């Protein structure tokens, strides 16, 4: 099983997920791509339809489960795949994989990194508490924790583990050319939402927004670009679209199929406004949605739910407006204001583009590479690096 490696070969790193798609932007296009570019031998074990190499990253396919308990059933397979790769470092992206990581540590002696994407404590009193307990157990033995949000520091700072802040900033995927800046007098009519769709992420609000647009004979259209994994929610939305005759207003791209990030840029370029009309779920309060950074890159003013942290972000950059969660009429009020004052809309679009440079992946990717080199070299990592 021992892998031949001379002094000039690169360190092998293996990322493992049973939850995320193989082309998840953070995992594949940001973290693994940065490590590949830095010369690491990069591998990903993830649910996929085939084992292949894509853009220099080796993908090792797990079956694609349809439920959480079935994901857990594939953990032994993930362990065997990972052990056979005999990596220098393993990184897991899901808390439920931490026991697999522990076994890999015992079996191989490799370094172990845990990437904390989400505050799982907010998933409810039973499952959320179980995941948090699992994380706290792992903090006693993992070599390092990456945190996607600065607010997650409070979760790890009292433990013995070191951490690095790796925010989910924007990295161009596919043809990320910018669209033309908003012209004087231009009024926004093309609304866009990208990413996973669900009721907690504003699906109901956006469908009801489309219904109000249709009834009032307004000019706006809405593109929903992403997957909705909940069959009941898809059925509800489909029924509302048919009932209200919304097909000319509401476009659904992906819907029951994962949308590759590389296919999304055309939707950004033709949009006028980026939407994030989330419900006030606890897991949304302490994080900035990745879509904010994407909207800024393409010069799209935001209309988002009035979550305190989001409100501060929008106010800081003067790049949009906040509305009460679950109130589509408030979205129409904002659009009425921008259509009556196109210069205000244009100012927000310009501010969005100007702010985008603060949220690029390049510096963060280098931080990740430096941390990997430290973990695999002689240097000991500093605690809680990054701001």
Does residue 174 fall inside a structural domain?
no
Does residue 229 fall inside a structural domain?
yes
Based on the fold, state whether residues 369 and 326 are members of the same structural domain.
Answer: no
List for the chain the helix, strand, coil content (%; round to 5).
45, 20, 35
Q: Which residues span the domain enclosing 20?
A: 12-169+361-376
Please report the pLDDT score of residue 222 as a whole number: 98
Based on the fold, state whether residues 120 and 259 are members of the same structural domain.
Answer: no
Please report the pLDDT score of residue 66 as a whole number: 67
Does residue 384 fall inside a structural domain?
no
DSSP state of 130: H
Backbone angles phi and psi of 57, in degrees to 5: -110, 125
Backbone angles phi and psi of 273, in degrees to 5: -140, 140
Based on the fold, state whether residues 115 and 241 are members of the same structural domain.
Answer: no
Distance, CA of 370 to CA of 385 (rounded, Å): 11
Measured CA angle at 318 (ends 317, 319), to 5 deg: 85
Does residue 307 fall inside a structural domain?
yes
User: pLDDT tens string for the chain (387 positions)?
Assistant: 445 444 334 899 999 999 999 999 999 999 999 999 999 999 999 999 999 999 999 999 999 876 666 788 899 999 999 999 999 999 999 999 999 999 999 999 999 999 998 776 556 667 777 888 889 999 999 999 999 998 888 888 767 889 999 999 999 887 777 777 777 778 899 999 999 999 999 999 999 999 999 999 999 999 999 999 999 999 999 999 999 999 999 999 999 999 999 999 999 999 999 999 999 877 777 889 999 999 999 999 999 999 999 999 999 999 999 999 999 999 999 999 999 999 999 999 999 999 999 999 998 999 999 999 999 984 333 433 443
Based on the fold, state whether residues 125 and 194 are members of the same structural domain.
Answer: no
Based on the fold, state whether residues 214 and 353 are members of the same structural domain.
Answer: yes
Distance, CA of 184 to CA of 189 (rounded, Å): 15
What does DSSP say about strands 221-227 and 250-255: parallel, antiparallel, or unpaired? parallel
Q: Answer yes or no: are the C-beta atoms of 280 and 325 closer than 8 Å.
A: yes
Whether the model clears a pTM of 0.75, i.e. scores above it, the answer is: yes
Based on the fold, state whether residues 138 and 195 are members of the same structural domain.
Answer: no
Identify the CA nearest to 29 among candidates 195, 196, 173, 225. 173
Return the H-helix or E-strand segment holding 295: helix 290-297
Does residue 131 fall inside a structural domain?
yes
Does residue 385 fall inside a structural domain?
no
Please report the pLDDT score of residue 167 as a whole number: 96
Task: Provide the CATH number for the domain around residue 275.
Answer: 3.40.50.2000
Enumerate long-range contacts of 58-67, CB under 8 Å, 24 or more apart: 59/22, 60/85, 62/18, 65/18
Please report the pLDDT score of residue 347 as a whole number: 97
How many domains, in total, are found in the chain? Answer: 2
Please report the pLDDT score of residue 6 as a whole number: 42
Does residue 3 fall inside a structural domain?
no
Identify the CA nearest to 101 among candidates 199, 62, 111. 111
9: tokens are: 């070969």
Counting Cα atoms < 13 Å in the Cβ hemisphere of 257 gives 6
Based on the fold, state whether residues 133 and 206 are members of the same structural domain.
Answer: no
* CA 325 remoteness from chain centre: 21
Based on the fold, state whether residues 108 and 211 are members of the same structural domain.
Answer: no
Please report the pLDDT score of residue 72 as a whole number: 85
């Amino acid at each position: 099983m021992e892998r031949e490696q001379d002094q000039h070969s690169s360190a092998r790193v293996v990322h493992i997920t049973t939850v995320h798609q193989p082309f998840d932007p953070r995992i594949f296009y940001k973290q693994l791509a940065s490590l590949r570019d830095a010369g690491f031998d990069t591998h990903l074990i993830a649910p996929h339809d085939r084992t292949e190499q894509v853009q220099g990253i080796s993908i090792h396919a797990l079956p694609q489960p349809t439920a959480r308990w079935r994901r857990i059933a594939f953990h032994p397979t993930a362990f065997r795949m990972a052990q056979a790769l005999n990596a220098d470092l393993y990184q897991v992206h899901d808390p439920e994989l931490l026991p697999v990581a522990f076994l890999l540590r015992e079996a191989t002696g490799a370094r172990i990194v845990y990437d904390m994407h989400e505050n799982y404590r907010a998933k409810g009193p039973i499952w959320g508490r179980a995941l948090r307990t699992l994380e706290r157990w792992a903090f006693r033995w993992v070599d390092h924790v990456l945190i996607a949000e600065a607010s997650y520091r409070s979760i790890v700072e009292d433990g013995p583990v070191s951490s690095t802040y790796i925010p989910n900033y924007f990295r161009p995927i596919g043809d990320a050319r910018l669209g033309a800046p908003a012209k004087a007098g231009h009024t926004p009519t093309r609304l866009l939402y990208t990413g996973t769709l669900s009721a907690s992420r504003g699906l109901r609000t956006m469908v009801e927004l489309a219904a109000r647009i249709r009834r009032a004979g307004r000019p706006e259209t809405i593109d929903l670009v992403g997957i909705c994994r909940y069959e009941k929610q898809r059925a509800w939305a489909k029924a509302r679209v048919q009932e209200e005759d919304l097909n000319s207003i509401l476009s659904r791209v992906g819907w029951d199929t994962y949308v590759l990030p590389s296919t999304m840029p055309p939707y950004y370029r033709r949009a006028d406004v980026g939407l994030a009309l989330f419900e006030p779920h606890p897991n949304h309060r302490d994080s900035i949605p990745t879509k904010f950074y994407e909207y800024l890159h393409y010069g799209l003013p935001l209309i988002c739910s009035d979550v305190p942290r989001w409100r501060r972000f929008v106010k800081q950059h003067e790049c949009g407006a906040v509305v009460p969660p679950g109130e589509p009429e408030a979205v129409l009020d904002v659009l009425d204001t921008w259509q009556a004052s196109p210069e205000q809309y244009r100012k927000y679009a310009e501010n969005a583009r100007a702010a985008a440079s603060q949220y690029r992946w390049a510096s963060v990717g280098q931080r990740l590479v430096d941390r990997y080199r430290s973990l695999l070299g002689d240097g000991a990592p500093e605690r809680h690096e990054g701001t």
